[in-house]
Amino acid sequence: MKLRLFPQEPAGLQLLSQMARQILEATGTLSEIFGAPVAEHERLVEELHEHEAKSTDLHFALLTHMRTSFVNPLPREDMYALSRFLNEAMEKLDAAGELVVLYKLDRVPKRAADQLEIISRQAELTVDAMRQLDDLDELEDYWIEVLRLAKRAERSHRTWVAEMLRDMKSTQFSRNRDVANQLVDVTKDMRRVATQVGSIIVKEA
């Protein structure tokens, strides 16, 4: 028997899905930043800031929707937690791009692209998952896959830090490590989203 809370997709779930979509789009912009010459960084970071601003707008739109809607698809505390984790992930993506500009990094190690690939996949899965929160039977695979990707990201992060420590001077290492830390923290926030979905599945079972 399907765990379907409402027969149609409520507006709150659309807002959560749109927040995940901003993360997906911002990941593409950050990938451009990592591959672009320094002269292009300022323009691309402004584009990244726009994604972050849209995410914040969607976050507050969801809070308003929850306050004014007579019926919500999930408990308010669950919807708030999902929205907060998504918005925090977006903020850290934005910070990673800003650090590239502030530190004037003209080249980012290849492992940055590996982390962006993981974040992009997590975001793709989350875009669909947020729309399906009224049909929880469909989400167990999402929960498991995002957790698997997060573990992969943490292993990649440890290898990346070890390689930088071996190959870079102290100042260069410190700057690149800051970017690496922001990226792995994004994957952790996406994991928090999936874990929150997992807790919803358990509660509604």
The whole-angstrom separation of Cα 152 and Cα 161 is 14
- pTM, 2 dp: 0.92
**Token pair for residue 43?**
């323009």
Q: How many CA atoms lie within 13 A of 28 on its CB side?
A: 9
66-106 pLDDT tens trace: 888 767 778 889 999 999 999 999 999 999 999 999 999 98
Q: Is the pLDDT of residue 49 over 50?
A: yes
Confidence band for 9, pLDDT divided at 50, 70 and 90? very low
- pLDDT above 70 covers what percent of the chain? 95
Mean per-residue pLDDT, 45-74: 91
Confidence band for 8, pLDDT divided at 50, 70 and 90? very low
